[in-house]
């Protein structure tokens, strides 16, 4: 229970940090902190809580920073959280390269799925070129690697 | 099974928004919960940044003071000449039997989040309905129009920027008086946002460098507000040609914005301005 509350706190902190950092840097095009935290949440807590974390990260991000119909990102991250939860409960993804590739893939799927589904609800989101998408995914994955290492260290310290 | 259940819950929640005007209860709760924390975080960061810049500024305060005094004198002279121009303008308006336009009443607001969404061009500001901000209000910077308020809570508001792909404003070119509609376009190669002016007749004369202002025909934006400068004109295709406009107000550098307090028309149920 305490672990879940900490994970939710981290999600809230990621959302706040995303907002504060956006005042100084154009980070939204390169980095999605709530997505990184939701990915960690799903990988470490299984499919049910992965769905909850993914869904919350999408819904709250859209409520705070989006416009128009809300919930598309929540829907996408619900499915992503479920898939990542299953992946995390069956495989041990610990190496830097597998984690990097996983985060890169998650970022690309999340962004492309939104670009594909949002027009069905009358919204025209920013379209990322393949190059911009690769840069965005790589930065997200690199930041994710650092955050994953920090979360893991914290978890190991608590369990010792 | 759980996935299917939650997918259905999400789809119902999304589809319920289609006919609902304004914010849903969930959205209102989330924004009301987060906006005070977001405002406090922004103030804290500003405080730290302000303290640091004050410390750095102390080192060059003497020379800067002298420079500012010179600038102030020049500005006062400029103000005097502009005041006489305004008086002359008012007199001419009376002569022409035109109604003098009232200045727009505005409110100063701090930007607490800027383009934080990867998909939409929006801003969050720290003023809401408690300070008189209404949905649909025009948001300006000293350089020109920035966008319009799309959602309001008591202590915060969300602004859809003019450079968003779903935004729209009726405009005209200052010299040629050519009408059109601008909306957001894909960013330029250097990353700066661009606007595209549509429905410009093929035979209309529009030249790069020309100023583009709001026409007021959409009854959304007040007339005569600066939108940007013509950057490029496309070759005509059929009856129309596209004109690319570089916006005057850059959201990348907006730390404070003015929100119009003038009475505004209600937005349609879908929050997008298109």
DSSP label of B98: P
Q: Per residue in B119-149, pLDDT tens?
A: 788 888 988 888 889 888 999 888 888 899 9
Closest residue by Cα to residue B196 from B215, B173, B177, B180 = B180
- Alpha carbon B140 to its chain's center: 5
Q: Which residue blocks in chain B are alpha helix, DSSP H?
A: 2-16, 25-58, 61-95
Q: Which residues contact B248 (CB under 8 A, 6 or more apart)?
A: B143, B144, B145, B226, B227, B228, B229
Task: Let me know: does B191 contact A26? Beta carbons within 8 Å.
Answer: yes
The token pair that represents B268 in the structure block: 């349609």
- pLDDT over threshold 60, residue B271: no
Q: How far apart are CA B11 and CA B93, in angstroms?
A: 56
Please judge whether B115 and A124 are an interchain contact, meaning their C-beta atoms are less than 8 angstroms apart: no
d(CA B234, CA B246): 14
Band the pLDDT of A160: cuts 50, 70, 90.
Answer: low
- CA distances (Å), B212 to each of A122, A159, B78, B228, in order? 28, 63, 24, 5
Residue range B11-39, pLDDT digits in tens:
877 777 765 556 666 677 777 777 777 77
How does pLDDT run across B46-87, given as a tens digit for each residue?
788 777 777 777 777 777 888 888 888 788 878 877 876 787
From B76's Cα to the closest Cα of chain A, the distance in A is 33
Complex-level ipTM beyond the 0.85 threshold: no
User: d(Cα B228, Cα B217) in Å, to the nearest integer?
Assistant: 17
- Residue from the list A64, A73, A122 with its beta carbon closest to the beta carbon of B30: A64
Contact at 8 Å (CB) between A111 and A136? Answer: yes
DSSP 8-state symbol, B213: E
Q: How many helices (H) and strands (E) does chain A have?
A: 5, 0
Instruction: Please state whether the predicted TM-score (pTM) of the whole model is above 0.80.
Output: no
Contact A22 B115 (CB under 8 A): yes
**Min Cα–Cα distance to chain B from A94, Å:** 26
Instruction: Convert B6-32 into a string of H (helix), E (strand) and C (coil).
Output: HHHHHHHHHHHCCCCCCCCHHHHHHHH
């Amino acid at each position: 229970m305490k672990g879940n509350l900490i994970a939710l706190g981290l999600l809230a902190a990621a959302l706040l940090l995303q907002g504060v950092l956006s005042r100084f840097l154009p980070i939204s095009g390169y980095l999605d902190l709530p997505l990184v935290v939701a990915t960690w949440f799903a990988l470490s807590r299984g499919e049910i809580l992965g769905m909850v974390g993914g869904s919350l990260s999408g819904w709250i991000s859209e409520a705070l920073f989006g416009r128009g119909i809300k919930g598309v990102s929540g829907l996408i991250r619900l499915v992503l959280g479920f898939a990542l939860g299953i992946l995390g409960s069956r495989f041990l993804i610990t190496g830097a390269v597998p984690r990097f590739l996983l985060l890169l893939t998650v970022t690309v799927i999340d962004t492309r799925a939104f670009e594909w589904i949002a027009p069905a609800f009358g919204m025209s989101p920013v379209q990322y070129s393949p190059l911009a998408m690769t840069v965005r995914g790589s930065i997200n994955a690199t930041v994710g690697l650092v955050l994953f290492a920090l979360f893991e260290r914290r978890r190991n310290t608590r369990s010792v | 099974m759980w996935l299917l259940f939650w997918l259905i819950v999400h789809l119902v929640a999304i589809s319920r928004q289609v006919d609902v005007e304004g914010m849903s209860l969930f959205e209102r709760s989330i924004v009301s919960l987060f906006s005070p924390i977001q405002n406090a975080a922004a103030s804290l960061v500003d405080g730290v940044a302000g303290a640091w810049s004050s410390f750095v500024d102390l080192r060059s305060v003497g020379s800067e003071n002298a420079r500012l005094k010179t600038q102030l004198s020049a500005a006062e002279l400029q103000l005097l000449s502009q005041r006489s121009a305004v008086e002359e303008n008012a007199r001419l308006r009376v002569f022409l039997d035109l109604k003098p336009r009232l200045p727009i009443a505005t409110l100063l607001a701090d930007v607490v989040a800027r383009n934080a969404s990867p998909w939409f061009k929006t801003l969050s500001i720290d003023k809401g309905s408690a300070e008189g901000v209404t949905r649909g209000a025009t948001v300006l910077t000293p350089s020109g129009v920035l966008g319009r308020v799309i959602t309001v809570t008591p202590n915060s508001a969300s602004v859809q920027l003019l450079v968003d792909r779903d935004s729209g404003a009726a405009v005209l070119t200052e010299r040629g008086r050519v009408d059109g509609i601008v909306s957001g376009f894909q960013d330029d190669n250097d990353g700066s946002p661009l606007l595209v002016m549509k429905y410009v007749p093929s035979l209309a004369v529009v030249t790069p460098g020309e100023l583009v202002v709001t026409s007021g025909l959409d009854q959304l934006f007040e007339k005569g507000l600066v939108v940007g400068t013509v950057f490029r004109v496309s070759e005509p295709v059929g009856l129309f040609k596209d004109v690319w406009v570089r916006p005057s107000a850059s959201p990348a550098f907006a730390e404070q914005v003015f929100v119009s307090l003038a009475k505004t028309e209600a937005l349609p149920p879908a929050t997008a301005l298109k």
